Structure 1
């Protein structure tokens, strides 16, 4: 295959990958799902919702009363009988009613907006809190961009529904029922004549609704794919620039951008079909009103016809009749958008953590730090077993080292200790307690983890170190930094501990970020410390400095050190050598060197590499 052909095939592969970020949700439109969404209104039913409904009832009743006062009272009685006094009273009454309607509408709009903002706040908070509690396997299979779209875009798309849609829906339904009742009361013949097009309109909307729902769902999926790619592209911009792949990346983004644009155009076209159809129905109804209404006026009331005032009232109500129907069509579109977004939101809310808690779990008040693996087997998926029947013991206060080639199971053991995953078989115990029976919060409060790829949050250096213990004083934060040797470089910064590190700690070197993560972990005062290749980003001089500090800090704590650099684990109390998920050897450095097994070969090969350099 040519180079150009390979590039095209790679792009196709990437596109297939991004298309698996979010799958379309083929579920029928159902009110059970909508009631679940409306449950978020419950805390505000007696305040904003009730007030908005009362204001809506008042304004709707006034709107329905005014045409009757104008047609039947003003024209058929006051004007017909030339009763100026009655006409004046009617004018004053109608003016007062319009004023009351204005006040009612003011409070309705105010309360529905407060209702919508509170509901969206609660929904977004609930979704974010739930996602934070999900297990690592969820984040292994979901991109950051996809999660971001659910929490931000999908919840925002529900804002209009809660801010005005629900109350407007109730108001339009009440208006339509009121108008139909009044029209039939005024003249059944004319009412049936002008409403003859309604069955046709409902038929058309029924045919279109599935297509419209699908197109709006596709819009959400395309947005999610584009956001996923954007998130990855921005985070990996240095790699893109280093390999001069800007053009290819732009071409790929252009494809995603085009797909998103086409999805929006398709959804907008189908949604736009409602309004013209309603206007056409309005035109047909108006023609029927004029032709048939004029005929009934000529007949007169005595011959089964109507009076002029009734015709005028009909004209008012007919103008009011098609507006709610038009809004209901738009509301249905809005409902489809909300349903597509709510399905995606509830898909995440229905995710259950693989690592969950039993009822009344054991709470660690203190932790000694004795760790046991009892015939533990673990698989990330069905085709790859990461640990095979591993049994080991780490005594409290010991420093334990895990060594082995990449993929041997070292990090898996660390993840199981922190209970980011549960073993497929066997038990992991701390101080004799099966971790499945232990509260996650109480477990992780006693464990600190330092990774090779440390994460630094936006904010100050002081804030980042304090993340390990939010209640720590400034003095305790500075002491933790001093012990790990981070205070030297912090002192050289213009604002010291109040220096803003920017996103992901961009102003710091890899070694400086690692030192901050050490200080953060140690400030938490854990019973167990896990160092997963934690010194890989630190130069030899800095490593020697923190090794001295760690001897004091790890005293009385259980420490698990994962390292390829074997010089960092010489003083470990016990070293477990792993290969393909199994323990090959265990013992301290001297014992393993005497055995001249796998550990001996690892040390020798590493020193040969150093000699070659």
Structure 2
């Protein structure tokens, strides 16, 4: 059970179905009348039940025995869907739900059909289960365990503060220096009191003037020097802490599965790494030390104010209480505007990332003005959000200033009356009033800093929540607890009843099965969208299958350590990606620390050595530019093949490796690939069917299913799907001759 079942419904089930174990329990978000509300679906080996709460009690809406059921299906409708059960020669609509719950009830229909038709129950994989917040019971995002409704800002702060554990000794030292600097600063007004009351008026004690003046200078110097030392150490610890946060965040992003990136925009994730960690750094380095120092000052000055005149302190404390109350009322209301501001900023960053990444396409189609307008629209949204935020935030600043003025006026008016008071118990000296006014100014400084700090803390904790959301995200592809190390893969592959879809409601591969022998070369063909690239993505374990399993050497790939699996699978893509750096660095990317001699051998095997020596003045030290933009597509592809050769994988995947190059370049690449595939299991995808003729076997996919398999001649003799694809390509080739 993924969410908490209401107690009354639980009691109803126990009374109606005593001793029954429920295999599935799902909560709808739309009632049978079409209104938003909750109803519950329960399934066991024999029964299907629908229950709901109404009028403070639970009632059973539907009770169906599974041996009556002929079929179950989830029907898609506008904005939602319905679960329909066929029994008694009729189709009964038993539940409604929104699109947010569609995948759950699609899976429920599958469970019912398997129980009815196959008399078995297969528990869904953990990735397909809907997760709910254990506190509020509401669904949470697939890629995160953070519930935005229940997240606590204090908890966010303490979780970020855990990154400071390696620096506890430095923090203790900073704490000591901060207390010392605060103490030194608090001495100065007291010295001024002594100067006025005991030296200047009325005694005019000249002998004490110089020592007190020097003491005041020493206290001020000590305060400044200790403050500088504290700022230096705080910057060191704060920057180091944020470095650790940024490193943990980037490492987490590297370890998350591809499906995490499918659901998010690259620009938004870049904002997390750059801007959000920058906000955290600003808080850790600048504002957190100021927060602590202000807290010490408030405590110390508060004590001194009571010592000088507890009655006068009662007068000035009222404006302070008003200030604190005002901040606590306004602060929660402003929080939502900070979230909105950061969301708009992330969207603008995503737009910039999109446009700059595809700048060649923008210029090729002359869409500069369109992209400029699109950016201006996002930028205007951010501007509006920033203006709204500042307007909301600055509403109470004048009130804060007035509160400060009121406090000062109260001190001089009430304190002045105490100076003239004849009662010794009420009387205050002029020095006490001056010292009190100085302490009050020092007191209000931290108070108002803390009120402004609320804005900074809000900024920082909003950024911290987004950082923690990434750190808390769970990868859908992880090592199983019982995974085993496989240092050397032989290369035998089996796809066994594999079903998978990027959208769980629309599977790309459907009950697909295929056996590939060790060192066999397999060609994969099919129309666009038939599942070719999905097949190799599953083999590389970029995603995990929804149903079925993939085995290598008889071991489920989920049981093979992820590092061992990826280390022994090499991929050559249709559009090779090269990183900014030299040609040698890109070839060696698959094998860090490779010797130059090994790099040269791999380049020669990939037919990449000659073009580097002849056409590139810097040879292997040639800088390839961003994404390899300084090299032609054919050159990038040969560098990519050299990288795969150096990797020396046991299983090689070729995804349209020659589809975008000219005929001469294709021949050179084909020669390199021929040397590469020797002695290893190879899976090649190609639209040019002629490139697969020499494969040991050709597998034809159609609509996610295995349509045909065999050699080229065998498939041509069948005159099936493959034959039609060959005929189509032949017609296209003939038509090009006359263009």
Under a length normalisation based on structure 1, what TM-score does the superposition of the two structures give?
0.93
| Alpha-carbon distance in 1 for matches of 2:367, 2:239 | 43
| Greater displacement, 150-159 / 229-238 | 229-238
Question: Which structure 1 residue ranges, 4+ long, deviate > 6 Å from structure 2?
Answer: none
Q: Are residues 320 and 274 of structure 1, via their aligned partners in 2, closer, same or farther at CA, if it must alter by over 3 Å?
A: farther
| Alpha-carbon distance in 2 for matches of 1:569, 1:423 | 27
Partner of 1:552: 675
Any conservation in 2 of the 1:116–1:159 contact (CA below 8 Å)?
A: yes
What secondary structure does 2:501 align onto?
A: strand
Q: Which of the residues 444, 448, 462 maps onto 1:326?
A: 448
| Alpha-carbon distance in 2 for matches of 1:558, 1:296 | 96
| Alpha-carbon distance in 2 for matches of 1:25, 1:108 | 36
Q: Are residues 549 and 251 of structure 1, via their aligned partners in 2, closer, same or farther at CA, if it must alter by over 3 Å?
A: closer
What secondary structure does 1:467 align onto?
A: helix
For each residue in 1:16-54, what CA deviation from the matched residue of structure 2 results, as whole angstroms up to 9, or x when unmatched?
A: xxxxxx99956665311111111111111212x222211
For each residue in 1:330-360, what CA deviation from the matched residue of structure 2 results, as whole angstroms up to 9, or x when unmatched?
A: 2111100011111111121121111111225
1:315 Cα offset (Å): 1.0
Q: Which of the residues 166, 172, 189 maps onto 1:50?
A: 172
Matching of residue 598 in structure 1 with residue 721 in structure 2: yes
Aligned residues: 590
For each residue in 1:187-230, what CA deviation from the matched residue of structure 2 results, as whole angstroms up to 9, or x when unmatched?
A: 11111112221222122212221232222222211111111111
1:497 Cα offset (Å): 1.4
Q: Which of the residues 66, 91, 116 maps onto 2:238?
A: 116
1:297 Cα offset (Å): 0.7
| Alpha-carbon distance in 2 for matches of 1:558, 1:351 | 35
| Alpha-carbon distance in 1 for matches of 2:651, 2:323 | 69
Partner of 1:18: none
Any conservation in 1 of the 2:536–2:653 contact (CA below 8 Å)?
A: yes
| Alpha-carbon distance in 2 for matches of 1:227, 1:194 | 47
- Greater RCO, 1 or 2 (C-alpha within 8 Å, sep 6+): 1
Any conservation in 2 of the 1:212–1:267 contact (CA below 8 Å)?
A: yes
Any conservation in 2 of the 1:183–1:191 contact (CA below 8 Å)?
A: yes
1:488 Cα offset (Å): 2.7
Matching of residue 269 in structure 1 with residue 424 in structure 2: no
Any conservation in 1 of the 2:315–2:410 contact (CA below 8 Å)?
A: yes
What secondary structure does 2:543 align onto?
A: coil
1:593 Cα offset (Å): 1.9
| Alpha-carbon distance in 1 for matches of 2:422, 2:450 | 36
What secondary structure does 1:369 align onto?
A: coil
| Alpha-carbon distance in 2 for matches of 1:569, 1:152 | 46
Any conservation in 2 of the 1:29–1:339 contact (CA below 8 Å)?
A: no
Matching of residue 580 in structure 1 with residue 703 in structure 2: yes
| Alpha-carbon distance in 1 for matches of 2:422, 2:629 | 85
Q: Which of the residues 542, 545, 550 maps onto 2:665?
A: 542
Partner of 2:543: 421
1:267 Cα offset (Å): 2.1
1:298 Cα offset (Å): 0.5
| Alpha-carbon distance in 1 for matches of 2:645, 2:275 | 38
Any conservation in 2 of the 1:400–1:561 contact (CA below 8 Å)?
A: yes
What secondary structure does 1:449 align onto?
A: strand
| Alpha-carbon distance in 2 for matches of 1:277, 1:357 | 57
| Alpha-carbon distance in 2 for matches of 1:41, 1:429 | 44
Any conservation in 2 of the 1:465–1:517 contact (CA below 8 Å)?
A: yes
| Alpha-carbon distance in 2 for matches of 1:284, 1:440 | 67
Matching of residue 137 in structure 1 with residue 279 in structure 2: no
Any conservation in 2 of the 1:396–1:556 contact (CA below 8 Å)?
A: no
Alignment of 1:329-344 (within 5 A): 329-344=451-466
| Alpha-carbon distance in 1 for matches of 2:192, 2:668 | 91
Q: Which of the residues 625, 632, 656 maps onto 1:509?
A: 632
1:144 Cα offset (Å): 1.3
Any conservation in 1 of the 2:658–2:669 contact (CA below 8 Å)?
A: no
Partner of 1:235: 357
- Greater fraction helix: 1
For each residue in 1:373-406, what CA deviation from the matched residue of structure 2 results, as whole angstroms up to 9, or x when unmatched?
A: 1111112112211111111111111111111111
Partner of 1:74: 195
Q: Which of the residues 455, 458, 469 maps onto 2:580?
A: 458
| Alpha-carbon distance in 2 for matches of 1:305, 1:28 | 53
For each residue in 1:239-288, what CA deviation from the matched residue of structure 2 results, as whole angstroms up to 9, or x when unmatched?
A: 22233322222222111111111222222333344554332211101111
| Alpha-carbon distance in 2 for matches of 1:28, 1:537 | 49
Any conservation in 2 of the 1:378–1:425 contact (CA below 8 Å)?
A: yes
1:303 Cα offset (Å): 4.5
For each residue in 1:525-574, what CA deviation from the matched residue of structure 2 results, as whole angstroms up to 9, or x when unmatched?
A: 11111001111122222222232333332121011001111111111112
| Alpha-carbon distance in 2 for matches of 1:337, 1:551 | 57
| Greater displacement, 493-502 / 222-231 | 493-502
Q: Are residues 136 and 279 of structure 1, via their aligned partners in 2, closer, same or farther at CA, if it must alter by over 3 Å?
A: same
Any conservation in 1 of the 2:641–2:673 contact (CA below 8 Å)?
A: no
| Alpha-carbon distance in 1 for matches of 2:653, 2:192 | 81
Partner of 2:367: 245
| Alpha-carbon distance in 2 for matches of 1:50, 1:262 | 43
For each residue in 1:574-599, what CA deviation from the matched residue of structure 2 results, as whole angstroms up to 9, or x when unmatched?
A: 21111011101111222222222211
| Alpha-carbon distance in 2 for matches of 1:305, 1:274 | 37
| Alpha-carbon distance in 2 for matches of 1:517, 1:110 | 48
1:83 Cα offset (Å): 3.4
For each residue in 1:439-480, what CA deviation from the matched residue of structure 2 results, as whole angstroms up to 9, or x when unmatched?
A: 111110111111112111111111111111112111211221
| Alpha-carbon distance in 1 for matches of 2:228, 2:482 | 50
Matching of residue 589 in structure 1 with residue 716 in structure 2: no
Q: Which of the residues 552, 565, 570 maps onto 1:443?
A: 565
Q: Are residues 58 and 303 of structure 1, via their aligned partners in 2, closer, same or farther at CA, if it must alter by over 3 Å?
A: closer
Under a length normalisation based on structure 2, what TM-score does the superposition of the two structures give?
0.77
Any conservation in 2 of the 1:53–1:167 contact (CA below 8 Å)?
A: no
| Alpha-carbon distance in 2 for matches of 1:28, 1:584 | 50
Q: Are residues 24 and 152 of structure 1, via their aligned partners in 2, closer, same or farther at CA, if it must alter by over 3 Å?
A: farther
| Alpha-carbon distance in 2 for matches of 1:324, 1:584 | 75
Q: Are residues 132 and 43 of structure 1, via their aligned partners in 2, closer, same or farther at CA, if it must alter by over 3 Å?
A: same
Q: Which of the residues 581, 594, 610 maps onto 1:488?
A: 610
Any conservation in 2 of the 1:300–1:306 contact (CA below 8 Å)?
A: no
1:290 Cα offset (Å): 1.0
What 5-or-longer segments of structure 2 have no aligned partner?
Answer: 1-143
| Alpha-carbon distance in 2 for matches of 1:303, 1:440 | 80
Any conservation in 1 of the 2:605–2:675 contact (CA below 8 Å)?
A: no
| Greater displacement, 126-135 / 160-169 | 160-169
What secondary structure does 1:158 align onto?
A: helix
